[in-house]
Amino acid sequence: MQRKHIRFLFLNIGHFIDHFLVLIFASAAALRLTTEWAMSYAELIPYATPGLVAFGLFAIPAGWLADKWSREGMMVIFFLGIGASSAFCSFADTPFEIGLGLTLIGSFAAIYHPVGLSMLIQGRDKLGMPLAINGIFGNMGVASAALLTGLLIDTAGWRSSFLIPGIASMILGMLYLVFEYSGRRTEAVRDPVVHESTQTETLPRNTLIGIFAVIFFTAAVGGIIFQSTTFSLPKVLGERLTDLAGSATQVGFYTFLVFSTAAFAQLFVGYLIDKHSVRTVFAWVAILQAVLFAIMIPLTGMAALIVAFAFMFVVFGEIPINDVLVGRVARSEWRGRAYAVTYIIGFTVSALTLPLIAWIHGSWGFDVLFAILSVSALLIFLAVLFLPQTHQLIQKPKMSLA
C-alpha cells in the first residue's frame, strides 16, 4: 500500500474519532447520567456547551498553526490530545469535572477539520468523492458513539465509554507519529510540491465574496441542524420508540442503524457534486430536509424510525457540499484558515444550540424542535439560490507541478 493511501486511511480514522469522542456524552447523559447523578436531561446538556464552543473557537488557531508550522504535527497532537481528554472524562465525579473534560475534548477536536481536510484534498483534482468517503468515516463516528456508548454503559459502566476510546486514540496517535516521521526523508508532503490553480484566479471578487457569504451562512444554520439531530437523536428515539427499545443498548443500536445507514448519503452527494452544479444539489438537499423535519413532528414508533432514517440521510448528505466549495475557491496556502473560519462558525453556533435543545425539550418536547429545524432548512434553501449557477463551480481545478 502506498504511503498516500495509508495517510488517507489515518485521516479518515481521525475523522471517525473526532466525531465519536465529541458525542459520547450525548448518549451517556441521555442513557445513564440522568439517573446516576439525579439530574434532568435539560440540566446536564449545558455542561457540554463549553466543549462545543471550543470545538469551533480553536479551529482558527489550529488552522493557522498547521499552515505556518506543520499539518502532520498538528494531527499527532490531535490524536494524543483528544484521547487523553476523553480518558480524563472517565474519572469525573461531578458535572463540573466532566464539563472540564468535555472542554478539553472540544479543544483538541477543533484541530481535525481545518487540518485534516486540508491534507485530504491536497493535490487532488476532484474533491467530491474523497470528501464524501472522509465524511462517511465522520458519520460512522457519530453512529458508533451511540451504539458503543450504550453497549459499554450496559456492560462496563459509563466511565468505560470515555476511557476505552481515549486509550485507542492515543495508541493511534503514536502509530501516526511513527508513520509520518519515518517517511519524512523519502517523501515531500508539503503543499509547495503542488501548486493548485483554484477558482480564485478566475472568479470575480464580488462573486467570490458572495460564495463565501453563502458558505458561512449555511455553515451556521447547518450547524444548528447537524448538532440538534446528532446530539438529540438518542433521546428522540428513546422517547418515541418505547415499544421497540427498552434498554440503553437497544436505543444505541437504533441510533447507530440510523446514523450508519445515512452516512452513505455522502457518497451519493459526493458523486453528484463532481458531476453537476453544486447549487442544484445543495438546493435539493435543503428542501428535502425542510419537508422531512415537518413530517417528523407528530410521529412515533416505526413511522418515526423510518422518517429519522430519511432526514438523517439528507442531513449527512449536506456535509461535504461546503467543504467542496471551500476547496474549489480557496488557495492551498490559506485553505486551512478558510476551513477554520467555516467550522468555527458552524461549531460555535452548534454549541449555542445545546441550551436551546435543553430549553425546548424541557418546555415543549421535541415537536417544537423539529418545527424549528424545518424552518432552518428552508432558510438554507433560500440562501443557496444566491450561489452563482456557473460552470466555474463544477469544473475540476487545474493542477501544475512546481
Going by their DSSP bridges, the two strands 194-197 and 398-401 should be labelled as antiparallel
Total domains present in the chain = 1
38-73 residues labelled b (16+ CB within 10 A) or e (exposed) = eeebbbbbebbbbbbbbbbbbbbbbbebbbeeebbe
Check residue 242 and report its DSSP letter.
Answer: T
The domain in which residue 356 lies consists of 3-394
Question: 64 lies in a domain?
Answer: yes
Asked, for residue 402, whether it belongs to a domain, the answer is no
Is 385 contained in some domain?
Answer: yes
- Amino acid 293: pLDDT: 95
**Angle subtended at Cα 234 by Cα 56 and Cα 241, rounded to the nearest 5 degrees:** 155
In a domain? residue 361: yes
Radius of gyration for the alpha carbons in the chain, expressed in angstroms and rounded: 20
What is the per-residue pLDDT for 294? 95
pLDDT for 175: 94
pLDDT at 10: 92
CATH of residue 40: 1.20.1250.20
How many Å is the maximal CA-CA distance in the chain?
63
Helix-, strand-, coil-residue percentages of the chain, each rounded to 5 = 80, 0, 15
In a domain, 301, yes or no: yes
Residue 333 lies inside a defined structural domain of this protein: yes
- At 194 the pLDDT is 44
Whether 279 is in a domain gets the answer yes
Q: Return per-residue pLDDT of the chain as tens, 402 residues.
A: 578 788 889 999 999 999 899 888 877 876 678 778 888 777 887 888 888 788 877 888 887 788 778 888 899 999 999 999 999 999 988 889 989 999 999 999 989 988 887 788 776 666 667 877 888 888 788 778 877 888 888 888 889 989 999 999 999 999 999 988 776 655 544 444 444 444 444 566 777 778 888 888 998 898 889 888 887 888 888 888 877 766 767 777 888 888 888 888 888 887 888 777 888 889 999 999 999 999 999 888 889 889 999 999 999 888 878 877 777 776 665 666 677 777 778 767 776 777 788 788 878 888 999 999 999 999 999 999 988 765 545 444 443 322
| pLDDT for residue 190 | 46
pLDDT at residue number 336:
63
List Cβ<8 Å contacts ≥24 apart for 295-304. 296/370, 297/367, 297/370, 297/371, 298/367, 299/240, 300/240, 300/241, 301/240, 301/241, 301/243, 301/244, 302/244, 304/236, 304/237, 304/240, 304/241
Apex 394 CA angle, 393 and 396, nearest 5: 105
- Confirm whether 399 is domain-assigned: no
